[in-house]
Structure 1
């Protein structure tokens, strides 16, 4: 099983790449042309970014380790991201949960510079193994976002050309009010389309510029309802807690009832001690 997991981890090395976004003009003219290599020295053995231009990757890892070590490993991964700086790594979500069965579930999501995403994942695997954990699952999904960006640029170019044509028609004059209003309405709609296309390109370029990486942490086993805790130690602690609770209740009840019981007992004693005695009837004469 361990060999299969290591083989799966090595498969990630074949896909850890992407490219940084270019501006609209550069993307429009770079279709099919090799991109400039941008992998830094820190990327180690990462594949050059031009291997998959315009592709946005999502990395997902699932680690399995002891419950009491998950929080520490999760903190180590967050610290490793912070050490890279916000230019290369950003933490976007952190979760930690103890479920009803006393198992820990946690997740940390990052946005990483595509050039170091795979190396960051490899370092995370090493830290989990150091904590006696294992890589339980790993996947990499890629989406061709660059093609959509290029198509958006082409649509924007067509919209700008149509706006220019309509504006030329308006300059020629000879239009009645309804025709002029119709042409102005078309220009307004086209400019709205340009804004939507621009926002779409920015979103796509953002996905290319930053790789989403998710670390999922799961418990490595244990007894449902108990987890990895010592059940005998837990039972003893519960017994002591219950005994302490019972003693507290008895003391509380005693403190509340005892004074009244003493008063009632004293009153009964005094009544019996000082109550008038009835005279005994005299015996009849013989």
Structure 2
């Protein structure tokens, strides 16, 4: 094996010592390389002109967040309209990941919706979300866009995948030709299995990275207040909603206190009635005894 490697090195050195057309390479004279003083230097040809450097487009994974405020009884309708917008796009372009809605004390409502959306239509879809909430009498409280550059992870994973694939091909060729000791063949089989496992992991991670670039995540939160009767920027509707909410919370607290104290009040009342009954009986007995004593 060592002699074969040495022979390959000798052949490569022999090929390098020859010209491209197969003729032996001649030693160049420095005077032949430099242009003559009488002859002007030739301009570089178009083939030798410098080529522009290709710039790779960064691979970005985007995530969008929206917060809306609208009437409590309109949150469910807004969520369903947003889900309908996603369903119309189809599962290849939009997917519903999570949907939650709840109520607290019967007055305040909340909701959350999480989507996976095609990145090319994410911003246009966000505008449709805001338009839908505006038609329902609500408004957008906040919105944000976050981006993560995964270009390096994709390039590193692709390079690792190519290296492991080449390694598997070489080891598979060694196993196919059956050249080498038994221990070397066993070690090659183990290496093939380990490299194949790394290939599968790299393919899965690469698919996940490309999926994050192709599909963006959209998180939507809903907060319940009264619908604004006037301008969307007016605080009158929210002030009325806050006052009514405080009033209803106070009434609910009073009713809860009364419900909690009613059994105890009944027990105290029964005890008091029983005590009055016993006291009246004792007084009547004493009065009768006094009257009997007076007659006697």
Deviation at 1:57, TM superposition (A): 2.5
Runs (5+) with no aligned partner, structure 1: 1-31, 33-51, 281-286
For residues 240-277 of structure 1, give each alpha carbon's deviation from its aligned partner in whole angstroms, at most 9, with x where no partner exists.
Answer: 63785498457623663266336524641453255488
C-alpha root-mean-square deviation of aligned residues, in Å?
4.2
Deviation at 1:64, TM superposition (A): 4.0
2:78 maps to 73
Conserved in 2, the CA contact under 8 Å of 1:103 and 1:227?
Answer: no
Aligned with 2:251 (options 233, 237, 240)? 237
Deviation at 1:68, TM superposition (A): 5.8
Separation (CA, whole Å) in 1 of partners of 2:82 and 2:63: 17
2:274 maps to 260
Conserved in 1, the CA contact under 8 Å of 2:60 and 2:150?
Answer: yes
Aligned with 1:173 (options 179, 185, 188)? 179
The total of aligned residue pairs comes to 225
Runs (5+) with no aligned partner, structure 2: 1-53, 226-234
1:270/1:123 CA distance change after superposition, 3 Å? same
Alignment of 1:137-286 (within 5 A): 137-145=142-150, 148-149=153-154, 151-170=156-175, 171-177=177-183, 179-218=184-223, 228-230=242-244, 233-234=247-248, 237-238=251-252, 241=255, 245=259, 248-249=262-263, 252-253=266-267, 256-257=270-271, 260-261=274-275, 264-265=278-279, 267-269=281-283, 271-275=285-289
For residues 182-226 of structure 1, give each alpha carbon's deviation from its aligned partner in whole angstroms, at most 9, with x where no partner exists.
Answer: 33332222111111111112212322342211223346789xxx9
Larger radius of gyration: 2
TM-score w.r.t. length of structure 2: 0.57
Conserved in 1, the CA contact under 8 Å of 2:67 and 2:142?
Answer: yes
Deviation at 1:152, TM superposition (A): 2.8
Separation (CA, whole Å) in 2 of partners of 1:137 and 1:255: 56
What secondary structure does 2:112 align onto?
A: strand
Alignment of 1:84-95 (within 5 A): 84-95=89-100
Deviation at 1:132, TM superposition (A): 4.2
What secondary structure does 1:86 align onto?
A: coil
